[in-house]
Structure 1
Amino acid sequence: AKRKHETALDHSDPVDTKLGTVGAVARDRNGDLAAATSTGGVVNQRFGRVGDSPLIGAGTFADNLSCAVSCTGVGEDFIRTALARTAACFVEFRSMQAEEAARAAIRYLVDRVDGLGGLILVDREGRCGRAHSTPGMLTATFAAGGVRVETT
């Protein structure tokens, strides 16, 4: 999958030239969930292209019945698989824990469209999940116990 998308991913650029996706998911003290995704985009795309970030269910999703999700990677693959909503369905309808749902969604992405990317997720209990099919992904988690930064 990496070679197929190598020119399309900002992850293949040197660190000092990246303009990649930034995503956030949150659960507040009332249990309300929110997700936000902002992307630097992909260079040399056709005029009028709409990526996955603004499409609810593709690159971003939040619902108090399941979880909040933010995705990064090849937007067309997230659109084809409605990946953020797919991850939420794993939580809501299959009763998966956050980490399990994140891994299952990325497996679905790879199996279905040979997709490349990653996602972060927080469920209604405040449990966090993260998974990716890229060579690496940097995430940070903030909770009452402090900040946890993870590079995988």
Structure 2
Amino acid sequence: MRKVVAYDVIALMNYKGLSVEEATEEVIRKQSEFGGNGGLIALDKSGHVAMPFNTAGMYRGYITEAGKIVVHIYSE
């Protein structure tokens, strides 16, 4: 494992005060600088979801509080 992205996300949230969306976007951006590609799915303690990626597409989904199923493949 070359990069520990989960640790990086939580460290950015704890030490820089970033939201889960901001932290995950920064981690994916930094991975791109190293030639890495992919994405991640992260939730914060309030249930906010972040699903950034730097590829053509990434299968991902979640269910809203109202029970709506949301599924995406490409950036919308």
TM-score (ref. length: structure 1): 0.44
2:27 counterpart residue number: 105
Please report how far the alpha carbon of residue 122 of structure 1 lies from its aligned counterpart in structure 2 after TM superposition.
0.2
- Which has the larger share of helix? 2
Instruction: Please tell me the residue identity of whatever aligns with 2:10.
Output: A
Is residue 2:15 matched to residue 1:96? no
> Which one of the candidate residues 38, 50, 56 is aligned to 1:129?
50
User: Paired residue for 1:147?
Assistant: 69
In the alignment, structure 1 residue 115 sits paired with structure 2 residue 36: yes
- How many residues align? The count is 73
Which segments of 5 or more consecutive residues in structure 1 lack a partner in the other structure? 1-78
**What are the equivalent positions in structure 2 for 1:3-152 lying under 5 Å apart?**
79-111=1-33, 113-145=34-66, 146-152=68-74
- Residues of 1 paired with 2:39 and 2:46: CA distance? 21
Cα root mean square deviation, aligned: 1.3
Q: Percent identity at matched positions?
A: 25
Q: Which aligned segments of 4 or more residues in structure 1 are displaced greater than 2 angstroms?
A: none
Greater share of strand residues, 1 or 2? 1
Residue 143 (structure 1) shift: 2.7
Deviation digits for residues 16-38 of structure 1, max 9, x if unmatched? xxxxxxxxxxxxxxxxxxxxxxx
TM-score, structure 2 normalization: 0.82
Task: Give the conservation status (yes or no) of the 8 Å contact 1:101–1:129.
Answer: no
Q: Which runs of 5+ in 2 are unaligned?
A: none
Equivalent position of 1:19 in the other structure: none
SS at match of 1:137: strand
